[in-house]
Structure 1
């Protein structure tokens, strides 16, 4: 182990053991096994915000609409309904990692409902998939026309089209051969990163996968690959910040994707597993599939947690914080059996660090 890191790791492990061995607060109820909540801590009292004034020309609360894709995203294992649609979690994380929120644009919802949601967003994302016709394609055309109308009127309104989404855009604009696109995404790249992109395999042209998708071994997860993905996400959202649209906060909250319960569709995505590589490269000196252990906190993540009810939680923002840098998360449940905790630590010892987080509470007595 690197001697420079050893003291820090020992200190963190000591803090972890203290938190695990400390007796529960008086009156604490037994935690429900297997229950880990991922609440948002929005509205909790915490560190005071700085007094810097935001740039009035840039919207610092951008919202992106993501068009859902037909199906359940799990090969029919969850639902075979013809009206079912889904948005892959990695697309939501891709947008959120750059500082935006997501409103789902359900491809088969009534047109007036679609237009209402479009009035609340500052940009749109078309996902990958397989559907190229029918109601889905018609919805893509309507949304694309909305994007064109906004930009033709002089209002910045970016579109990020990925995989199938880009293919559908190509199908639409191919009917207008004189139409030209001008992109500036690479202007944000450092010269060194531009050189690496042109000479190394850092992307699959599925730009969120380098950070958030782990099934296929050919997906690059190096630090450079993660930076490329972050640059794409940051550029997309930087353009959305230029949108003059300032939707009512209550309407945005009522339409955010977290009004829908996320559905776990399996440990890996659907589809065929890739064939193993013909040769196994030597292990690199830097591990590109890191895992972070996050210790849960007693309670449910709301103000009620101060009563120390059952269960435990990890704030969703901590998970996103780790994932946006290209790592995965294993929850360390604070009251699970010690042998289980040690089992997780032993299994992942070569690639494991701990994230200990602080929770601020409002003072009970005003000074």
Structure 2
């Protein structure tokens, strides 16, 4: 009669459970695929988007793709919230991207006010020994510098709309964290080819950073020859800023001036990869899978706004008050789209992203496989002993 070592079987089963649990936990904590908060921005009542959509805030889809293209995931950050909302969210995500755009920093309950909360909270998180990166693109960089300068305004007017130029690196650029991993070939490419797309009316000069805690890695000149700072990083905190738009090289196609050469794409991808690699150092997690699932950008769909004349190919449009996506005002009834096939909707088969609404198949399959293998091992071991 076959003797089964039940003690060994139980031990192997528990080990299987622990292994599967650890695998799920590894994914959830953001180390593998960090979760980045992207700040929304207000929509003005007389704007193009307001005339076509019932929306109060937006996120350009290119910023979401910028994060996802480097292996990250996105949570939208609402404007117009109390500080407690931002405190709670930032302690569950792995970094923040402050996007570019066109708005005033002094709007009540707008981008500037929300960004100020976020930057102060990010400073506190880093001060308390938790690595938390913040990336600012164009307007986001300008907000980072303003808030870190105690809201003392040092920007000046410049003319760099639709300007495609290389980077003029400072001699000490290689002392920075941002460019420490860049090859000599990439630096040569960035400094020789027109790989950065600029579209801004405000700039910082090098004088803006005198006696500050920022490192300047590159400078440029606008269309009138006025010098401005184009890449910076903070010396104490993992805060980074670029005055140009790397996401446009990769994902925006509304202007022939945006560079899409191999060099421009390669350069832009470097910045995305760097930021996400910084976010992988953060260990924040959501309290549970349901909260994480409810917060993700996947709950919303972008609108194709370039077709109505927008400067963005796609935008996520929200009703900030209700934190819901908005729909275009239809001129005629829209056809009903079929429900998606759940079997084809999972990004990683057998790899549990979030488990909700009874969708435990992906999480339980590795456990069942491990148990069956353990049982086979015990049976074989028993037969060996009997022989």
TM superposition score category, shorter chain reference: 0.5 to 0.7
Is the counterpart of residue 263 in structure 1 residue 303 in structure 2? yes
Partner of 1:77: 51
Q: For 1:184-223, list aligned pairs within 5 A.
A: 184-204=177-197, 205-223=244-262
Q: Which residue matches 1:105?
A: 77
Distance 1:79 1:183 in 2: 43
Distance 1:197 1:268, change over 3 A: farther
1:56–1:107: structure 2 CA closer, same or farther, 3 Å change rule?
Answer: closer
Residue pair 1:78, 1:265 contacting (<8 A) in 2 also: no
> Quick check: 1:215–1:268 contact (8 Å CA) kept in 2?
no
C-alpha distance in structure 2 between counterparts of 1:250 and 1:188, whole Å: 37
Determine the C-alpha separation between the residues in 2 that align with 1:316 and 1:250.
Answer: 16
Which structure 1 residue ranges, 5 or more long, are not aligned? 1-50, 273-298, 306-314, 318-361
Q: Matched residues in 2 for 1:316 and 1:194: separation? A: 38
Compared CA separation, residues 271 and 220, structure 1 to 2 (3 A): closer
| 1:245 lines up with 2:217 in the alignment | no
2:82 is the counterpart of 1:89: no
| Structure 1 equivalent of residue 148 of structure 2 | 173
Report deviation, 1:76. Answer: 2.0
- Name structure 2 gaps, 5 residues minimum: 1-22, 153-172, 198-243, 313-337, 348-364, 373-387
Q: For 1:106-147, what per-residue CA distance to the aligned partner results, in whole angstroms no more than 9, with x for missing partners?
A: 111344333332222100000111222122212111100111
Distance (Å, rounded) in 2 between the aligned partners of 1:98 and 1:128? 19
Q: How many residues align?
A: 230
State the partner residue of 2:95. 123
How many angstroms apart in 1 are the aligned matches of 2:256 and 2:308? 12
In structure 2, the residue matched to 1:143 is 118
- What is the deviation of 1:65? 0.4
Q: CA deviation at 1:148?
A: 0.9
Q: In the aligned structure 1, how far is the partner of 2:29 from the partner of 2:293?
A: 23
Structure with greater proportional strand content? 2
Residue 59 to residue 250, structure 1, CA distance change in 2 (3 Å): same
- Post-superposition Cα deviations, 1:292-316, rounded to whole Å, max 9, x if no partner, equal xxxxxxx8552478xxxxxxxxx79
Quick check: 1:123–1:157 contact (8 Å CA) kept in 2? yes
Distance in 2, matches of 1:148 and 1:112, equals: 15
* Structure 2 residue 294 is the aligned partner of structure 1 residue 254: yes
In the TM superposition, residue 235 of structure 1 has moved relative to its aligned partner by: 0.7
What is the alpha-carbon distance in structure 2 between the residues aligned to residue 145 and residue 242 of structure 1?
A: 20
Contact preservation (8 Å) 1:62, 1:240: yes
With the length of structure 2 as denominator, give the TM-score of the two structures: 0.53
Deviations 1:89-109 (A, max 9, x none): 000000011111111111113
Secondary structure of the 2:52 match is coil
Deviation digits for residues 231-287 of structure 1 (CA, Å, limit 9, x no counterpart)? 111110111100021323332111001222333323375259xxxxxxxxxxxxxxx
Question: Could you say which structure has the larger radius of gyration?
Answer: 2
- Kept in 2, the 8 Å contact 1:67–1:105? The answer is yes
Is the 1:67–1:125 Cα contact (8 Å) retained in structure 2? yes
Q: Describe the shift of the 1:58–1:66 C-alpha distance in structure 2 as closer, same or farther (beyond 3 A).
A: closer
Structure 1 runs of 4+ aligned residues shifted over 4 Å read 54-58
**TM score, norm. by length of structure 1:** 0.55
In 2 relative to 1, CA 203–250 (structure 1 residues): closer, same or farther, beyond 3 Å? same
